[in-house]
Structure 1
Amino acid sequence: MQLEKLFRMQRGLDLHIEEKHGLQNEDLFDRKVLALLVELGELANETRCFKFWSIKPSSEKSVVLEEYVDGIHFILSLGIECDFQNLEYKFDLEPASVSTTEQFLLIYEKVNKFKDSKNELDFKTLLNSYLQLGTLLGISYEEMEKAYFTKNEVNYQRQQNNY
């Protein structure tokens, strides 16, 4: 996964949004954390992994992938907020050995831990845990990257259309 390129693209989008909305001098960290938590919930809802009371299957992979990549946008954006975009990243590429539901809960914990610490190790752990969730959902790193590129373009178009 080309994290440097993704960080660069995210930084460009973040700067565009901040300039367009006059947010250059605002601390957006907590809002981005909340946005990530909301996106994580939307993703869980599409996977339906926690809906033990329902027999309806998960949404189509394309829908899950689009929701998944929204989380990547906000994780990268949080990393940029803390100046972690130029770090060396070595990930545990093995799929998580827990259920999808357990991985979602773990990520919620990691988000909150990072929110409180804002440290590099907690950021890397959050990012790694999120990438592991993707593998649990059957999403390859190539699919993640391609979907990120596509959604980044959509986000720019939305800004042009006053989304």
Structure 2
Amino acid sequence: MINFIKLAPMQDQLDAHIRKKQGLEGQDLLLNTIFALQVEVAELANEVRFFKHWSKDQEPRTAQYYFKDAYGRWDPVSEKYWRMTYGDPEDKDLEGERWKVRNPVLVEYVDCLHFLLSIGNQAQVDWSEITAKNNSGMDMQECFGYLMILISNMWTYKKHPIFDPDIDMHIRHCLSDAVSILWQIAQLLNFTAEDIEAAYLAKHEVNYERQAKGY
């Protein structure tokens, strides 16, 4: 299981840094953050490709190769082109000076995790109480379908607090179920908690760098 107790304070610090950097202190950003999570989940689904019945290529995008051009730009290249030009990727130092590989699915997954943590922090979730329910019977389509519904429900509770003023309580319930489904997606993709944490920490540093560069 993902170590939310470790990652949530880090996300809170990053969000505070962004608020200060962007002049957003004191503003309620929960609706934006929920919407951002929905966008990232869609981007994750696009890389997983499970729904693309019109394509013969329905395998998750777990490897994207890059080569640094003469101007220092990292250009994505196909695996076929890579093999024709540079040989077997397994024989290369993929983190070397001129080439690298990344896992687009894992990158999108941790983007979802960033916003999920941010929503939980804003809704005052007690992360010690968050545990993954057993969703082992759910396939990829069910996971993404129900995850989208849960995120939409969070947005609705926040946008239209008509019947119950305890918005955070409803959002916490939705988020708890979303955590379980996101973990089931990780299981279906054969991601370990260690894989996810390492990718999260790497992207965490990138996010700070982006703020420093005026992203």
TM-score, normalised on structure 2? Answer: 0.71
| Structure 1 SS opposite 2:190 | coil
Q: Distance in 1 between matches of 2:107 and 2:148?
A: 19
Deviations 1:47-97 (A, max 9, x none): 1110011012321251100000000000000001111144422222x4531
CA contact under 8 A between 1:100 and 1:137: conserved in structure 2?
A: no
Q: Distance in 2 between matches of 1:21 and 1:65?
A: 28
In structure 1, runs of 5+ residues without a counterpart are none
Residues 147-162 of structure 1: pairs in structure 2 closer than 5 A: 147-162=199-214
Are 2:137 and 1:97 aligned? Answer: yes
Q: How far did residue 17 of structure 1 move? A: 0.3
| Structure 1 SS opposite 2:129 | coil
Residues 1-12 of structure 1: pairs in structure 2 closer than 5 A: 1-12=2-13
| Structure 2 SS opposite 1:114 | helix
RMSD across aligned positions (CA): 1.5
Q: Distance in 2 between matches of 1:47 and 1:5?
A: 27
* Residue aligning to 2:62: 60
Q: Distance in 2 between matches of 1:88 and 1:58?
A: 32
* Residue aligning to 2:23: 22
Residues 47-86 of structure 1: pairs in structure 2 closer than 5 A: 47-56=48-57, 57-60=59-62, 62-86=103-127
Bigger radius of gyration among the two: 2
CA contact under 8 A between 1:69 and 1:147: conserved in structure 2?
A: yes
In structure 2, runs of 5+ residues without a counterpart are 64-102, 158-166
Q: How far did residue 10 of structure 1 move? A: 0.1
| Structure 2 SS opposite 1:26 | coil
Deviations 1:8-49 (A, max 9, x none): 110010000000001112111111011001000100001111
Q: Distance in 2 between matches of 1:85 and 1:155?
A: 24
Q: How far did residue 128 of structure 1 move? A: 1.6
Q: Distance in 2 between matches of 1:145 and 1:11?
A: 16
CA contact under 8 A between 2:106 and 2:196: conserved in structure 1?
A: yes
Amino acid at match of 2:147: I
CA contact under 8 A between 1:96 and 1:133: conserved in structure 2?
A: no
Amino acid at match of 1:18: R
Give the number of the structure whose residues are more often strand, by fraction.
2
CA contact under 8 A between 2:34 and 2:154: conserved in structure 1?
A: no
Whose RCO is larger (CA < 8 A, sep 6+)? 1
Q: Percent same amino acid at aligned positions?
A: 35
| Structure 1 SS opposite 2:132 | coil
Q: Comparing 108-117 with 133-142, which one deviates more in the overlay?
A: 108-117
Give the number of the structure whose residues are more often helix, by fraction.
1
Are 2:176 and 1:124 aligned? Answer: yes
